[in-house]
Amino acid sequence: MKARVLVRPKSGILDPQGQAVQRALPALGFTDVHEVRVGRLIELELDDPTRLDEMCERLLTNPLVEDYEVLLEEGARR
Amino acid sequence: MKARVLVRPKSGILDPQGQAVQRALPALGFTDVHEVRVGRLIELELDDPTRLDEMCERLLTNPLVEDYEVLLEEGARR
């Protein structure tokens, strides 16, 4: 089974990469974009998704400053 | 409208971050995970999604080594 973990900076946490993108867009003619946040995408193949949350909390994300969301192959949200 | 851009290393392109995660997981007791790839997640708010592909190709991704996928708020895939 394929799973995707979407990791983003918690709201309120500074996101310099997102700010850089947001500032660069108008210079390229994209003027209607706001609220850019840049995070990480982790894709993995695994047999048993029940331990995904534990995996996220222990290795894949930093729960102090990041939120995450798990999407399983079928598009179901856990 | 909220959009998400999922960026991942093209298959065949070395992914050292994914390899590091994959090697670290068994040490934490997660033994059934394979094919880990680490990419980027970009979330943005914009009014007109028609120029998203252009944005991805010009700024958000490196089309030489990365693939991307755009997900719009409704979960529709473009």
3-class DSSP state for residue A40? Answer: strand
Q: How far is the C-alpha of B35 from the C-alpha of B70, rounded, in Å?
A: 22
Shortest CA gap A65–chain B (Å): 16
Please identify among residues 48-67 of chain A the ones whose CB lies closer than 8 Å to any CB of chain B: 48, 51, 55, 58-60
pLDDT of residue A72: 93
Q: CB neighbours of A39 closer than 8 A, spacing ≥ 6?
A: A6, A7, A8, A9, A66, B40, B41, B42, B43
Could you say which of B35, B39, B51 has the minimum Cβ distance to residue A45?
Answer: B35
User: In this complex, do A33 and B24 lie within 8 Å of one another by their Cβ atoms?
Assistant: no
Helical segments of chain A, H only: 16-27, 52-55
Shortest CA gap B43–chain A (Å): 5
Which ipTM did the prediction report? 0.89
Query: What tens-digit pLDDT sequence spans chain A (78 residues)?
Result: 999 999 999 999 999 999 999 999 999 999 999 999 999 999 999 998 999 999 999 999 999 999 999 999 864 445
Q: Does A23 touch chain B (CB under 8 A)?
A: no
pLDDT of residue A76: 47
Could you say which of A8, A24, A34 has the minimum Cβ distance to residue B45?
Answer: A34
Query: What structural domains does chain A harbor?
Result: 2-72 (3.30.1280.10)
Which chain A residue's Cα is nearest to B27? Answer: A59
Res B34 pLDDT > 50 = yes
What does pTM read for this prediction? 0.89
Give the end-to-end CA distance of chain B in Å, rounded to a whole number. 14
Q: Does B44 touch chain A (CB under 8 A)?
A: yes
pLDDT of residue A73: 83
